Structure 1
Amino acid sequence: MERARSSILKTVKANTLLIERLDLVVEVAKILDKALRGGRTIFLMAQGPFAFLAQHAAAEFIGKFATETKGEERRPLPIVALTEDASLLSAVGSNYGTRHILARQVVTFVKKDDAVLCLTLNGSEGGLREALQLSKERGAVTVAVTGQDADDVEDLCDLCLRIPSKSQFRVEECQLIILHTVYNVIQDEMARTGEFEKTGAIIRFECPNCAERIAVMSRFAGRKGTCPRCHVHITVPTPEPSAAAQEPAAAEQRAHMRFSVKDCVLDVMRLKEGALGERLKGHLALEDLSQGGIQFLHLPLTEAADEEMTLSVGDRIRVRLNTPAFTEPITGTGEVRRVEPAKGRRGARYGVKFLALDSEAADKLQKLEENVVLRNVARAPSASSA
């Protein structure tokens, strides 16, 4: 019991003494934060029993650790642990010797302005000094967190933080506290500069195809997906400040995107010498709609069908189509390419190819066709291919 109590008291004492070196702990955090903001990589270098600390810290920087930032998310940070694992001991150690395992990794990965953080008791581990020397030569910033005796590596470091203990156990415990503190300082700085995303923020929007209301976390802004209801491809909108937001274009002012051709209202006028002529009277039923043209059925209003205007192949017409999809109609000019008698009734079926579409009409047709929003379409031969 007394031995256990003594061990805990020694740990508490060593940790308490870290307060006296708080300025150095913060300085370590600033060095690493500067490297990260410069797009560089941090390498945690360690051997033997200190290797697990390097691997543990790297995992926390890549993942998430601090509970103080609940409800927030940050990007993974490029932290790599340079240690000795079984494959390196076998592949590198057998060919070059175990002293060169860290050095070979430094030559492979470390670049100018990267940061190398060394975890050691006193720097006497085999190959550690050589690896730090190579890091300096390659232009990296070098930092060491060591025990009380660090004469072997201090001259190779831009900053050396000595823990006031010679015990390996106390040094390891203090190094873990220092790493967690450094992590928190960097994370707090990222939160202060707005690099965190509030994961609790919700983006709510409507599917442009079926008007299904969709809610997603804000971190998915700009990503592609599918509507859970109609399964068309969608892109999650990116919110804009209200001051920067613009009014939607006519092609984006949609009401209902899922509709039948029976819900469309068609108006056709013949063109004579470029001017509007007589309107086609009777019942006009849209049967097919594409970016190339339309097909519609014309049924006269009266028995005296011969007295009403009809269309012939080659006639130029003005088309105005109101759909439930948009607040403004789709308008343009076209040419009659096909005329067929209506089966079993008076009237005719016309195939029309678009010659010119008015402003944004082409965009509207493209959106309708891409989203496959028209139902109950009679897929006769395309008017555009006639």
Structure 2
Amino acid sequence: MDMTSRMTAHFNDSAAVLQESGRALAEPLAQGVELLFTTLANNGKILACGNGGSAADAQHFVAELVGRFERERLPLPGIALNTDTSILTAVGNDYGYEHVFERQVLALGQPGDVLVAISTSGNSANVALSIEAAHERDMRVIALSGKGGGAFNDLLGPDDIHLCVPHDRTMRIQEVHILLLHALCDGIDALLLGDTA
């Protein structure tokens, strides 16, 4: 395969995964929008976490909430739990890296808040523990995963929302994750601004 064909194949594969994900995830995604809107309307906040590319996605999502997405509106309360290097290194050093998000959820999470937990495999130990901590705090969870969902399948409860991308390749899963997060932002804005047509 020449390089141009290889690059074209990426676009074709990505488009196919996006289409399949749209068919599989549109309904739970709409439920996620409703959950986040209700949380924000009731003075709750959104916590988000992930590792590596998923950490970048968590930060990106929170930036869209606190700043703005596409239209002017009031800032919305969101915290990316993977941004404070002092907390991450202190907790990682004193308790172990698997506890870096769990401790923050226990410190900052309140009943009625939502955790957005991101892991392409669904098996990240520190993200898994954050889900358990969210449940301890009577928080609901929106989990973004792929590869069949991994450990998330056993951790999530009936009131949580699982957006599991139907694919096994990490980069394709990440491409869908950013679309899912943008769609959540768009849905929140539509409800906040009364644009649900």
TM over 0.5: yes
Contact 1:47 1:84 in 2 (8 A): no
* CA distance, structure 2, for counterparts of residue 131 and residue 42 of structure 1: 13
Picking from 43, 56, 63, the partner of 1:59 is: 63
Report the equivalent of 2:98.
99
Determine the C-alpha separation between the residues in 2 that align with 1:110 and 1:41. Answer: 8
Distance, in Å, in 2 between the alignment partners of 1:15 and 1:177 is 9
Q: Distance in 1 between matches of 2:14 and 2:32?
A: 22
Give secondary structure in 1 for the equivalent of 2:11: helix
User: Secondary structure of the equivalent of 2:193?
Assistant: helix
CA distance in 2, matches of 1:189, 1:97: 40
Of 23, 30, 35, which aligns to 2:27?
23
CA shift for structure 1 position 129: 1.6
**C-alpha contact (below 8 Å) 1:144/1:154 kept by paired residues:** no
Are 2:54 and 1:50 equivalent residues in the alignment?
yes
Q: CA deviation at 1:85?
A: 5.0
TM alignment of 1:137-176, pairs within 5 A: 137-157=136-156, 158-176=160-178
Instruction: Spell out, residue by residue over 1:194-231, the C-alpha distance to the aligned partner (whole angstroms, 9 max, x if none).
Output: xxxxxxxxxxxxxxxxxxxxxxxxxxxxxxxxxxxxxx
| Structure 2: stretches of 5+ with no match in the other structure | none
* More contact order relative to length (CA 8 Å, sep ≥ 6): 2
For the pair 1:39 / 2:39, whether they are aligned, the reply is no
Runs of 4+ more than 2 Å apart: 84-90, 154-157
Contact in 1 for aligned 2:102/2:129 (Cα 8 Å): yes
TM-score, L = length of structure 1 = 0.47
Q: Tell me, which stretches of 5 or more residues in structure 1 are unaligned?
A: 194-386
Q: Count matched residues.
A: 188
Distance 1:14 1:121 in 2: 14
In our comparison, the structure showing a higher alpha carbon Rg is 1
Deviations 1:17-58 (A, max 9, x none): 122121111111111111001100111121222100100110
d(CA) in 1 for partners of 2:77 and 2:110? 13
1:293-315 residue CA offsets vs partner (Å, 9 max, x unmatched): xxxxxxxxxxxxxxxxxxxxxxx
Deviations 1:112-149 (A, max 9, x none): 11111111112211222222111101100112111032
2:155 match: secondary structure: coil
Which protein is richer in strand relative to its size? 1
2:12 and 2:31 mapped to 1: Cα distance?
28
